[in-house]
Structure formats: structure tokens, C-alpha cells
Amino acid sequence: MSSEHPQDWNRDSLQLLYEISNTLNLSENLDEAFNNTLLLLIPRIGAESAIIRLIEDDGNMALASHYNIDPALLDAIKTTPLEGILFSREEDSIDEIRKSDSALLSDKLPPTLIAVPIRHLVRTLGVLNLFYTDDVNLDEQTALMLVTLGQHIGQAIIKARQTETEIQKRIQHERNMLANELHDSLAQTLASVRLQTRVLDQSIQPLGNYAVINSIEKIEHGLDEAYTELRQIIAYCRGPVEHQGLQPAIEAIVAKFREETGIHILLQCEHPLPDIPTSMEINAYRIVQEALNNIKKHSQAKIVRVLLSYDNGEYLIMIENDGKGFNQYAIESKAGRHLGLTIMKERASHLGGELKIESEPDEGTRVELRFHYQESDEN
């Protein structure tokens, strides 16, 4: 970028900063904000390509966005060490940017690298890397514009993180309110019905009508299960939204299923499942939970198999059993259909995935969930 006409460049830089600031404010998420920023910036400053990397809690830098980068290089630069690549935080002033050799990241990138710090106040959040095929000397106006841009990006990051925190607080508040309502209404009603049913059972026992006694005991058992499940839902709603990992969560529910039912259940994991966002984790977990609950209640299965698989962003979760199965076409044709199966399919839709349920009477059932997620999908 030429500095022959500083007044013109000053006007152009202000216009560019205005456009980028506007898109940062109007973007719905950081993914969109970063992508739009690079789309506006790169053609105007003559860079060939660019990446944005953010500092993680472990001290490394994770790729957050990229422009005109060979897809084959993305894995190589997905996570990089902080020190020696960003800039020397001890020696450099807060307004300094750094030019260096892009071979620090990859020898397949354009050779000249410009590192622009992304900061909020005095806190360093990440770096904007610009790549040039030829050597480049940034004039003062360009350098000032890039430093200011880094500060704008930093403000957008903090704003997005604060918004996410507020959303999580509102979600937790609503979950607590729902838990309180369930506890004060439905849980109390169920507890009362359970007590009345036991009193009725005890009063009928001396009469020796075993058919009636057996029916009442089944009702008691059903009420006990419903009450236990409701208490679990209340505890889940009251607890914080935690990210424990999809695979550990499924391992825990499989162990619980084995302990409660005595049914032989086999968990197979061909590849460890990478972490996914909490919202996706909850939906996938609930699908597995509903499938296992249906097996426990209806299938009369002797063997259950849960298969977890991951390959290049593609997740597969399969739950199959050798139970009595069901006529899925008859169920789907009924008015209202089976609520549990409908909710499972809705959850799969929220995952952006596909849920297949295959079953025939006396032939068992297979539930197969497929969805896609990679960390780069958010960048």
C-alpha cells in the first residue's frame, strides 16, 4: 500500500476501519465477524492471505478464521505455540506489530508474515497474521490502521464472550424456574399418588385377589420409575450447564443402564470422540438416553450394543438391541405419533444431523445418529 498521498490514505484507512467496525457490530457471531473482517481487509491492503488466531487457556493459539489458505495447511496451523510466533510481549510496546518469516508456521505459506496483536485494553487475546508473497514495509498510516483494527477485533471478542455469559445465565435462571415448578407441582402430585397407591395395595393384600394385587404393584413400579426420572430431570435443570464430554457422558449412562437392568450392554468406540459444543453434546446425549430408556421399558432385549465412531468430523452413534422390536410404520402413521421418537428426531435436526430408526416385530431395533462437527466449523 502506497504512502505517497498520506491524506488520501488516511481517508481510505478511516473508511476501512468504519466498514470493519460496522461489520463487527452487526455480525451475529465471531465466526461471521472474523470472516467478514478478512473479506473487507485483505483486498484493501494487498495481502495474499490471512489468519486469525486466539490464545487458549492452555497457552497455545487456536486457528479462529482464515482467508485464502490452502485447506491442506489448515491442520498444520490449527494449533500453534504462543511464544516466538506472536511477538515479544516483554520487549515490544503495545502499539508495535512484527514482521517475520512465515516459515515459523509453515514453509508452504507466503514467505512474509505480518503479526498484528489483537488486544482489549492491555490484555492480549490473539493475533492477526497477514501473508505477503514479496517483502513489504508498512508505512506509518497502515501500521496505525492495523493496530487500531486489532483493538476493534479485541473489543468484538470481549463483547461476544460477555453476551455468551449473559445467555448462559438466563438459560440457567429459566432452568431453575422450571425445576422449581416441577418440584412444587408435578413431583408433589406424583409423591401423593405413590403414597395413596401403597395404601391401597396394603388394604387389598388381605383379600388375596392376586390379579388385582399384581396390577397395583405394576402401577406402583411405574409411579416409582416416573418419580425417579422426574427427580433426575429436576436435578439436571438445577445443575449448571457443564461440558463433560460426549463420550464420558455416554459411558456413564451405559454403566447406569447395565446396573439398573442387568441387560448385557456392550459399548464400542472405534475412535475417541473429540469434544463438541455443550448444546450439541446435550442433544446427542439425550438421543442416546431416550433410546436406552425405550429399550429398558419396551424391548425385552437380552443384548444391547452401543457403537461410537468418529472420522474426519463425521460422528456416528448407533444403539441396537435384539428385543421384540416394533412396527415403526404403524407408529408413525398414528395421530401424534410416538412422542419420544419425535423428540429424538427433532434433537437430531438441531444437531444438523440425521436419525434413522430401523425396527421390525421380533427383529430388534437399531437407532443410528449421524452428524458433522469440526472445530473449524465455528471459525
pLDDT tens-place string over residues 325-372: 887 666 655 544 566 788 889 999 989 999 999 988 888 999 999 999
Laid out side by side, the sheet with 354-359 consists of 264-269, 303-311, 314-321, 365-372, 354-359
Domain identity same for 270 and 364: yes
Of 26-35, 83-92, 295-304, the poorest mean pLDDT is in 83-92
Confidence of residue 90 (pLDDT cuts 50, 70, 90): very low
Residue 209 lies in a domain: no
Q: Are 357 and 291 within 8 A, CB to CB?
A: no
Phi, psi dihedral angles at 124 (to 5 degrees): -85, 125
Domain identity same for 254 and 157: no
Domain identity same for 156 and 271: no
Domain identity same for 12 and 104: yes
**Cross-strand partners of 357:** 367
Instruction: Identify the residue with better confidence: 317 or 294.
Output: 317
Residue 222 lies in a domain: no
Number of domains in the chain: 2
CATH number at residue 331: 3.30.565.10
d(CA 187, CA 340): 21
Per-residue pLDDT, 270: 79
**Residue whose C-alpha is closest to residue 92's, from 150, 38, 134:** 150
Q: How many CA atoms lie within 13 A of 139 on its CB side?
A: 12
pLDDT at 94 over 60: no
Residue 237 lies in a domain: no
pLDDT tens-place string over residues 222-243: 888 888 878 877 876 776 555 5
d(CA 283, CA 351): 7
Mean pLDDT value across the chain: 82
Per-residue pLDDT, 365: 94
Phi, psi dihedral angles at 317 (to 5 degrees): -125, 120
SS3 label, residue 301: coil
Q: Are 355 and 367 within 8 A, CB to CB?
A: yes
Domain identity same for 117 and 251: no
Domain identity same for 34 and 143: yes
pLDDT tens-place string over residues 37-67: 999 999 888 899 999 999 887 777 888 999 9
CATH number at residue 147: 3.30.450.40
Residue 183 lies in a domain: no
- Give mean pLDDT, residues 258-284: 89
- Give mean pLDDT, residues 259-282: 88
Domain identity same for 15 and 160: yes
Question: What is the full DSSP assignment across 252-269?
Answer: HHHHHHHHHH--EEEEEE
pLDDT tens-place string over residues 118-139: 999 888 899 898 988 888 877 7
Confidence of residue 34 (pLDDT cuts 50, 70, 90): very high
Domain identity same for 160 and 20: yes
- Give mean pLDDT, residues 304-311: 94
Given 138, 165, 192, the domain boundary residue is: 165
Per-residue pLDDT, 366: 95
Domain identity same for 63 and 150: yes
Directed axis angle between helix 140-182 and helix 210-238, to 10°?
150
pLDDT at 117 over 60: yes
Per-residue pLDDT, 336: 45
Residue 142 lies in a domain: yes
Of 3-12, 70-79, 269-278, 352-361, the poorest mean pLDDT is in 3-12
Residue 189 lies in a domain: no
Residue 90 lies in a domain: yes
Residue in this structure with the C-alpha cell 484507512, named with its chain if needed:
13
Per-residue pLDDT, 368: 96
Given 144, 165, 186, the domain boundary residue is: 165
Residue 206 lies in a domain: no
Residue in this structure with the C-alpha cell 441387560, named with its chain if needed:
263
Confidence of residue 98 (pLDDT cuts 50, 70, 90): low
- Give mean pLDDT, residues 259-285: 88
Phi, psi dihedral angles at 314 (to 5 degrees): -100, 120
- Structural domain span for residue 26: 6-165
Per-residue pLDDT, 104: 62
Q: Are 100 and 80 within 8 A, CB to CB?
A: no
Question: What is the full DSSP assignment across 60-105?
Answer: EEEEEEEES--HHHHTTTSEEESTTTS--TTTS-TT--EEEEGGGT
pLDDT tens-place string over residues 135-155: 887 778 888 888 899 999 999
- Give mean pLDDT, residues 254-267: 92
Given 139, 165, 191, the domain boundary residue is: 165
What is the distance of C-alpha 108 from the center of its chain?
32
Per-residue pLDDT, 91: 39
Per-residue pLDDT, 7: 43
